[in-house]
Amino acid sequence: MSIKPCSIVISVGSLLSLGITGTAPILYAQAVSSATVTGRVSDEQTAVVPNARIQITAVETGAVYKVLSNVDGIYTIPNLPIGAYTLQAAVPGFQTYVQSGIGLRVGDNVQINITMKVGRWQAISVCWTGRPARQRGLPES
């Protein structure tokens, strides 16, 4: 049994009617119109600080974006519109960290590492007024 070569003839009109052309498809790329801020939160001895409450606020609009640092102290705030921002970090027992004047441009991936400083202890005075509550089973004094 021998195999004979065959030829297929397809007219240009057939290709056009099927929607097949010799041109490459046109692809539209999405423009990136945002930025990302990422970093690491640590204390003054460079130990990681997990669960830090990170907040970045857009100066012009007042929009607030919040995340927590992970167990390695890493945080990422993606998809931020371009503009000016103020960054804050808060952790119980530490002073609040504030950094203003952060300018984000299209496609920026800005790294802001945060060093938390130990906060000051505050003594709280509690003053009770009134009579003490009467306990059951005991006579009032």
Query: Above 60 in pLDDT, residue 5?
Result: no
Give the tens place of pLDDT for each residue, 49-66. 999 999 999 999 999 999
Averaged pLDDT of the chain:
80
Mean pLDDT over 80-100 rounds to 97
Report helix, strand or coil for 15: helix
pLDDT of residue 7: 46
Q: 53 with 66: CB under 8 angstroms? A: yes
Identify the CATH number of the domain defined by range 34-116. Answer: 2.60.40.1120
pLDDT at 27: 45
Note the pLDDT of residue 119.
Answer: 87
User: Is the model's pTM score more than 0.75?
Assistant: no
